Amino acid sequence: QVRLAESGGGSVQAGGSLRLSCGASGFPESTTLMAWFRQAPGKDREAVAAIWARSTPWTRYSDSVDDRFVISLDKGRNRLYLHLDKLKSEDTAMYYCALSTYGLVWDDRTKYDYWGQGTQVTVEV
């Protein structure tokens, strides 16, 4: 059974930084992608960043966070990270960790099999 658990959220002033962490238990060998999504109140869940989990990793970012967020994967510890920098009020949302065992399209949320419960990030102006 795969379980994902996020941590590291909180309240931060605009311009500040946070590091989100996602622990994955039961990490499947078939994992293709791991990603961070976010959902603000009244909005759809959107992809933020993803990393290819197989032999040669690559990363993808949404235009709204490019150059400010960095995703990384420690396969030895089965932990996914998202470093958030230069935070803006519009980054306020619940952030979710997701894992896919077959997906190839990084920002398609329907291709992710497993999800965490989320961690709240609030950016105060």
Diameter over CA atoms, the chain: 42
**Predicted pLDDT of residue 99:** 97
Query: What is the sign, positive or negative, of the torsion defined by CA atoms of 41, 60, 62, 76?
Result: positive
Residue with token string 């499947």 = 28
**Predicted pLDDT of residue 112:** 96
**What string of H, E and C letters represents the secondary structure of 63-107?**
CCCCCCEEEEEECCCCEEEEEECCCCHHHCEEEEEEEECCCCCCC
Q: Which residues of the chain have pLDDT under 70?
A: none
Tokens of 34: 């791991």
**Predicted pLDDT of residue 108:** 95
Question: For residue 96, which of 14, 40, 17 has the smallest C-alpha distance?
Answer: 40
**Predicted pLDDT of residue 34:** 97
Question: For residue 112, which of 43, 62, 63, 53 has the smallest C-alpha distance?
Answer: 53
**Predicted pLDDT of residue 73:** 96
Integer Rg of the chain from CA? 13
**Predicted pLDDT of residue 103:** 82
**Predicted pLDDT of residue 78:** 92
